[in-house]
Amino acid sequence: MNSLQRLLQLGLTLSLMLLMPMLWWAGSLAVRGLGEDLIGSRLEHDAESLLSAITFTGADHSPVELEYINPIYKRPFSGHYYSIRMADGSIQSSRSLWDQTLDLQVVEPGDTAQWYASGPSGQNLLVWARHYQKQGHAFTLAVAEDLTPLERHLSLFQWIFAGLSLAALLILLVVQQRVIRQSFKRLDTVRADMQSLEQGEIGALSQDVPDEILPLVQEFNRLLELLAQRLSRSRNALGNLAHALKGPLNLLVQYLDSKELDDHPELRAQMRTQQERILKLMERELKRARLAGSGSPGYRFNAQQELPDLIEVLRQIHHKRQLDIQWQVMADTPTFGDREDMLELMGNILDNACKWAKTTVLCSITGAETIKITIEDDGPGCSEQEAKQLARRGTRLDETVEGHGLGLAIAKDIVKLYNGKIVFSQSRKLGGLSVTIELWHINQPDKEQLKPQ
Report the distance separating Cα 240 and Cα 213, nearest Å: 40
Cβ atoms of 51 and 43 within 8 Å: the answer is no
Q: Is the pLDDT of residue 449 over 80?
A: no
pLDDT tens digits, 147-172? 988 889 989 998 998 999 899 989 99
Is residue 425 helix, strand or coil? strand
**Looking at residue 72, what DSSP letter applies?**
G
> How are strands ordered across the β-sheet holding 91-93?
91-93, 80-86, 137-146, 124-134, 112-118
User: Any residues with CB less than 8 A from the CB of 299 and at least 6 apart, and which?
Assistant: 200, 203, 338, 339, 340
DSSP per-residue codes, 113-144: EEEEEE-GGG-EEEEEEEEEEETTEEEEEEEE
**What is the structure's pLDDT at 404?**
38
**What is the structure's pLDDT at 396?**
46
What's this model's pTM, rounded to 2 decimal places?
Answer: 0.47
> How are strands ordered across the β-sheet holding 324-329?
324-329, 360-366, 371-377, 433-439, 421-426
pLDDT tens digits, 291-306? 444 444 556 788 898 9
CATH of domain 4-152: 3.30.450
Cβ atoms of 84 and 139 within 8 Å: the answer is yes
Report the distance separating Cα 125 and Cα 148, nearest Å: 8
Q: Is the pLDDT of residue 324 over 90?
A: yes
Domain with CATH 3.30.565.10 in the chain: 301-453
Instruction: Tell me the CATH architecture of domain 301-453.
Output: 2-Layer Sandwich (3.30)
**Looking at residue 89, what DSSP letter applies?**
S
pLDDT tens digits, 116-149? 888 887 788 999 999 988 878 888 899 999 998 8
Please choose, from the candidates 49, 261, 23, the residue with its C-alpha nearest in 3D space to the C-alpha of residue 165. 23
pLDDT tens digits, 405-442? 456 777 887 888 788 889 888 888 899 999 999 987 55
Cβ atoms of 139 and 87 within 8 Å: the answer is yes
Average pLDDT, the chain: 80
Residue 372: pLDDT band (50, 70, 90) is very high
Domain with CATH 3.30.450 in the chain: 4-152
Is residue 361 helix, strand or coil? strand
**What is the structure's pLDDT at 452?**
33
Report the distance separating Cα 277 and Cα 285, nearest Å: 13
Share of the chain above pLDDT 70, in %: 85
Q: How many residues does the chain have?
A: 453
Q: Is the pLDDT of residue 388 over 80?
A: no
Instruction: Name the phi and psi angles at 137, rounded to 5.
Output: -115, 135
> Strand (E) positions, 318-366?
324-329, 336-338, 360-366
